[in-house]
Structure 1
């Protein structure tokens, strides 16, 4: 349910960061030749890109936190409803990790 929102937020974040990088590269390339108003305009574009990237990053963080809370709730419900299966699964995972650890 939250997956499409997280994917969309991640795509937006990547796009904003790509724009930020492009604007920064443009600023660096034109620093020597730009003066006054042109430099101010370019700096404002970069600032706006940073603001958008921060907002998207915040949205992504909120989405990931919500998904993490959902996962904890679902896991807790499963363990409470199926305690013996949970113990069996944990024992199996522990056994497999022990096997992998001893092979190295």
Structure 2
């Protein structure tokens, strides 16, 4: 199996989906801040709000694209895994048994 599909994480162990979810929270907070300052006057504030709104719209579009790409890769990984298991059932059973044995040994050491 391809290791690229097995763990969609960066080196720190954070998954891409966790990053997307965290970023959605940041975007929601930024939108709330923009709404809260909607009644604030001044040319500088208006310009900053317009720039922030444009940046948020661009980032939201990029995040939607990234989320769609992640979904496509996840589905491809699931299909590849399904095909491998159907093509090599005994190897899959052996790998699962080996992984279970290792996990059992690690848990038993505690």
TM-score exceeds 0.5: yes
Structure with max Cα Rg: 1
Q: Which has the higher helix share?
A: 1
Q: Which runs of 5+ in 2 are unaligned?
A: 5-15, 17-22, 24-29, 31-39
Within 5 Å, which residues of 2 pair with 1:38-57? Answer: 38-57=44-63
Calculate the TM-score normalised by the size of structure 1.
0.65
Within 5 Å, which residues of 2 pair with 1:84-95? Answer: 84-95=90-101
Q: Displaced runs of 4+ in structure 1, greater than 2 A?
A: none
Instruction: Quote the RMSD (CA, aligned, Å).
Output: 2.6
Q: Which residue of 2 aligns with 1:72?
A: 78
Give, in whole Å, the separation in 2 of the partners of 1:53 and 1:87.
44
Secondary structure of the residue that 1:58 maps to in structure 2?
helix
Post-superposition offset of 1:35: 5.1
